[in-house]
Each structure stands twice: as structure tokens, then as C-alpha cells.
Homo-oligomer: A and B are copies of this chain.
Amino acid sequence: MTDTAAFLDEARAILGERGLTTDADLLDPWLTDWRGRFTGRALALASPAATEQVADLVKLCARHGVPIVPQGGNSGMCGGATPDASGEAIILSLRRMDKVRHFDKSARQIVCEAGLVLQTLHEVAGAQGMRFPLTLGGKGSATVGGLIATNAGGTQVLRHGSMRAQVLGLEGVMADGAVFDGLTVLKKDNRGFDLKQLLIGSEGTLGIVTAATLRLLPALGDRRVVWAGLPSLAAARRLLTHCQDEAGDALEGFEVMAQPTLDDVIRHLPDARQPLAGRHAWHALIELVADDADAQSLGERTEAMLAGALERGLLDDAVIAANEAQAEGFWLLRDSIAAAEREKGPAVQHDISVPVEKMPEFVDFAVPRIERDWPGTEALAFGHLGDGNVHFHVIAPDGVEPMDWMTGDGKAISAQVYRMVSEWDGSISAEHGIGQLKRDELAQLSDPARLAIMRQVKRALDPNNILNPGKLVPLAPDAPIQ
């Protein structure tokens, strides 16, 4: 082990007084993930103010063998930014590095530092008549660096892709302290491997993202939000294809939920009511958008799309939100599912995906299977049908103690869900990542060839395993916990 006092002195010399603290009161909030599932300890909280400081600090850590846990908004879902219990690591917060370095409206690009908060990014873009086409629940704390490191998803992936698709350029610090400078955007550049792709989604295990060039789009001119009632999830899948054919790039969202889930939400929200008069096995929330150039024809196109769907028997009933308030109301129903479900008792949640075309079949298979194997549970699937990504939640039987559930049947159910997903060629992590939460499941369920490549790349770029050790990559084949 390193000489801690000497290490901290040198670190303080690099970062200045504001840049380093070992004060327990200041450290504590960052030692536990926001959902309270993981807690660790750390030597110090380092808060560099510039890329050069990050580089110098990484070199220092490499010399002393001090592990580094990079952290953005600490709002991840899988414990990827929480240190382990050893207390040997430092937390490297990027939050002080939150500058917008450059804004180019005509090139539709923004260059910003890793600590910029997503909501601030939305505001900066909006003030210039532009928008950043990715959003999610944690936008008030999630940072650009964390979004990149986890390749974050959200509700606009159907149209715009996940974070990977928004990153045009990237700056990062590698395990030896070298700065990878890839901020300059070249629309075409075939000088070998696209190295920025390695850092995106690597959860800080291959390098530390310090800045990025992100793509922007013109601000929206208008939107139409539709609520549709459907006889089955397979029908929803057919409707999705119809909407993609008819609306093309205007289709920005396509979310689904079953009738019982909607009933729970209506009970949960005091003033809410069912958007449609009748009851339907499944419901779809569909959003079409247009920029200013296309805003005029959006209403017509939405109506034509729905008329065609009715004619072809693709839906039972549908309504277009009459105004923005009603549109917001429709989205509130979707966004309240998690809260409504919490009232029903403890649950285990799974962020899973299967190939889009298999999703209806998978849900029709998995929901009754779980409810049969685990009597008294209630399984529900909802979310981003268009992405093949559903949130598959299983609610405990009445009266079960939360702790008993989480460590007993709930855990066994999760293992079963992940096995089923893997058998269906799906992913045990659609948008939340692996972190420490799912690393051992990844080791058990992943294709050995994939695991081997991941290990080779990790060992090549971080030979001393100082970058977020213990996260994402199951390094030792036979002993997943290292």
C-alpha cells in the first residue's frame, strides 16, 4: 500500500485546497448511491477543475497504485460510481468541470465539460433555439460525463438513439494519464479504430471522460401526443411499424402499458382519468414531433396516420391530445407508473431488452411464467416498446417484508428473469449499465468470447486495474468478485 499522507499531499499540490477533501461530512454524500443500495469508503474526494489536473492526478494514482472511482451526478442505477468498502480508492468527481467550452449553432454542436448537468445542457441549448435530444428522469443531477460513461438511454432513443449517438467528439484521460484529445469533429475520419467508442459505455473502466462534443438539433416547432387502446402487445408492435412507415422521422416516442398498470396509475393520481372511454388490454402513448419547417403539417399527418391504422384494424380506439396541457397529462400517466407501483409493496425491477420484434412474445411468455412460478406475485411490463426495452417489474405477494423479499425470493426471481432474457437473445441491461449490481450476472450469462475480448481490452488499457476496479468487467473468470 501507498504512503497515504504523501499521496494526499501530492494530490493537494495538483488540485489545490478546493480540489481535495478528506472531511467525512463532505465525503459522506458521495459514498452511497442515490437509491441507497451500495455504500463504500474512500480515501478522499478529488474535484479537479481542468483536464490537466485530471491527467496529473491519474499519473499520481498510477504511481501510488491508488484506485480511482470516477463520479458524475451519482445518479446511476447500478452502483457504478460507488467505491468499494476497502477505503483505498479516491472518488474523482467531475462536477467542478462544468463549463461550456464552445457553442456552434450553425454546426449544431456544443463542446462541454464532463460535469455539465443534463438539465443545464437543455437550458443552454434551448436559449439558442436548439435542443439536446436525450432526456431522462435524473436530468437534474446526471452529468454529461456520466451519461457518456454509461451510454444513457431515456425516452427519445426510438428516434435519436442513446448517448453514443449524440457524442461527436470526446476528450478523456487514460489510465497512464495520457490525454486522448478527440473533441474535433470530423464527419469523416478513417484513421483506424474509432477510439472514442471505447470510452462510451465503459463506465470509467478504460478512461475518464473529461469533455465531449455533442450534437444538437433545432428546437421543436410542435408535437402531437396520441393515446391508443389496443387488443394485445402484438397489435402494439404492428401499430408501431405502421407509425414508423407513415410518420417516419417524426415519430419520437412509443411507450406501452397494460390496462391493470394504467388502473394502478389512475388510483395513484388524484385527478387523473382514463384517456379512452373503454377498457383495452394494452395502451400505447405515441408522440410525433416536428421542427418549425414541418410544424404546419404535423396535425394532418398525425390524423392521417391514425385513420390508416383504424382502417387497417391496428387499434381499437385513439385520441389526440387537444392541447399541450392534455399532452402533459398523458405523459404524466406514463411517468407515474413507478410511483403507483411503489404503493403496492416491494418489487424487483429489471431493465431488459430483447430484439424489438420478439418483445410481445417475450412479455406474453414471461409475465404468466413468473406469476405461476412465484404465486402471489404480480409481474408487469411497460416502457419503450419501440426500443425492444421494457421495464419488467415483479411485485411481492401481500405482506412480505421488504428485506426478506430483496434477499430471498426477489433475488431468485431476478436470476430467473435474467436467464430468460439471455435465452431470448436479449440483454440483462438495456440502458442502466452493469456497474457492481450486475457484474456477476454478466460473468455468468455472457458469451465467453465477448467476456474474453472485454478482459483483453481492459487489461491492455488499464494494466494495473486502477480505473473503477470491480465495476463492469468481470476480470477473473473463476472468481467474479475480485
Q: Which residues of A contact B (CB under 8 A)?
A: 104, 106-107, 150-151, 153, 157-158, 162, 164, 174, 178-182, 184-195, 197-198, 200-203, 206, 218, 241, 245-249, 291, 293-294, 297, 353-357, 384, 386-389, 425-434, 442, 446-450, 452-454, 456-457, 459-461, 472-473
Contacts and interface: CB of A to CB of B under 8 A. Distances in A.
A106 B241 contact: yes
Contact of A184 (B179, B355, B428): B355
Contact of A193 (B386, B431, B457): B457
A192 B452 CA distance: 12
Between A158, A182, A355, A473, the greatest number of chain B beta carbons within 10 A of the residue's beta carbon is seen for A355
Given A218-B245, A460-B461, 15 more contacts: A104-B357, A153-B188, A162-B190, A185-B355, A186-B353, A186-B426, A188-B427, A188-B430, A188-B431, A190-B429, A191-B434, A193-B201, A194-B197, A198-B457, A247-B293
27 contacts: A104-B357, A106-B241, A106-B357, A107-B357, A174-B449, A179-B449, A180-B453, A184-B425, A185-B356, A187-B387, A188-B388, A189-B353, A189-B427, A190-B429, A190-B430, A190-B433, A191-B428, A192-B434, A192-B454, A194-B200, A195-B453, A197-B197, A197-B198, A198-B453, A248-B291, A249-B249, A456-B460
B184 A450 contact: no
A104 B356 CA distance: 12
Nearest to A441: B191
Contacts of A150: 190
B356 A157 contact: no
A178 B452 contact: yes
Given A157-B187, A449-B174, A164 B291 contact: no
